[in-house]
């Protein structure tokens, strides 16, 4: 007889009757011991800080719109929001996957160190600010100052980018399919290589998107801000 995989246990929370505190307490203190790997969250009604700081291989499905910091500091878990997300989605994520099926507000993926953040719709201002190694894929467009001071990691933007994209960029790389209103200080367009096209293809595939990697442009740092020059008169 063939070996059958055990069906993961599922627990459902309805935030119209269950408290957010009980949900997060269960995720942090009881889910692993209870053998629960799948958590369904219904009626979040814009609640803040849902599923933050997870440190296990959970599959969290949130059915509705969420507020600030959903899946912040995520490690290992896969968190899907079937709706829009407020500021700071997946902020400081370490690993795992966070998928926003709608739109994301300010500072999505801020300071994220690892893992993959996917946003199906648009992202607002400062998407990927101070990025430290994670990958971000945006199916739509991004707002101004996205990837500001991004230090490491990759951002794929399938739509357009507003002003000052990649301002003060370090080693992170941005791939943009649409129009860029303006680049920030020290950011520049560079030629796409075979390695770049392969990276974009892989990230698009992981995100369920099917654009042609040849349609994307590469934005990276010119590295003129790496060293301070006394004669620059603060003009870079």
Decide if 36 is inside a domain: no
Average pLDDT, integer, range 180-191: 97
Average pLDDT, integer, range 32-45: 96
pLDDT in tens, 128-149: 999 999 999 999 999 999 999 9
Give the CATH number of the domain where residue 108 resides.
Answer: 2.160.20.60
Decide if 61 is inside a domain: yes
Decide if 125 is inside a domain: yes
Decide if 24 is inside a domain: no
Decide if 157 is inside a domain: yes
How many distinct structural domains can be found in the chain?
A: 1
pLDDT band at 1 (very low <50, low <70, confident <90, very high): very low
Q: Is 82 exposed, middle or buried (0-12, 13-18, 19+ CB in 10 A)?
A: middle
Decide if 8 is inside a domain: no
Percent of the chain with pLDDT over 90: 91
Q: Which domain holds residue 164?
A: 48-225
Decide if 15 is inside a domain: no
Average pLDDT, integer, range 62-79: 98
Decide if 38 is inside a domain: no
């Amino acid at each position: 007889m063939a070996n059958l995989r055990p069906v993961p246990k599922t627990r459902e929370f309805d935030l119209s009757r269950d408290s957010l505190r009980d949900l997060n307490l269960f995720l942090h203190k009881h889910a692993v011991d209870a053998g629960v790997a799948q958590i369904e969250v219904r009626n979040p009604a814009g609640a803040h800080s849902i599923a933050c700081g997870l440190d296990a291989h959970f599959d969290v499905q949130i059915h509705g719109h969420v507020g600030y910091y959903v899946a912040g500091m995520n490690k290992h878990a896969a968190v899907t929001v079937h709706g829009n997300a407020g500021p700071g989605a997946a902020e400081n994520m370490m690993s795992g996957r966070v998928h926003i099926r709608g739109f994301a507000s300010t500072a999505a993926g801020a300071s994220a160190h690892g893992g993959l953040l996917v946003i199906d719709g648009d992202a607002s201002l400062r998407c990927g600010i101070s990025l430290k190694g994670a990958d971000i894929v945006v199916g739509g467009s991004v707002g101004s100052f996205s990837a500001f001071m991004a230090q490491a990691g990759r951002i794929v933007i399938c739509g357009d980018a507003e002003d000052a994209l990649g301002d003060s960029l370090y080693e992170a790389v941005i791939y943009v399919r649409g129009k860029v209103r303006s680049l920030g200080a020290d950011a520049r367009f560079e030629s796409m290589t075979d390695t770049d096209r392969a990276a974009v293809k892989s990230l698009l595939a992981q995100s369920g998107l099917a654009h042609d990697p040849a349609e994307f442009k590469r934005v990276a740092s010119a590295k003129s801000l790496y060293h301070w020059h006394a004669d620059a008169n603060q003009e870079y």
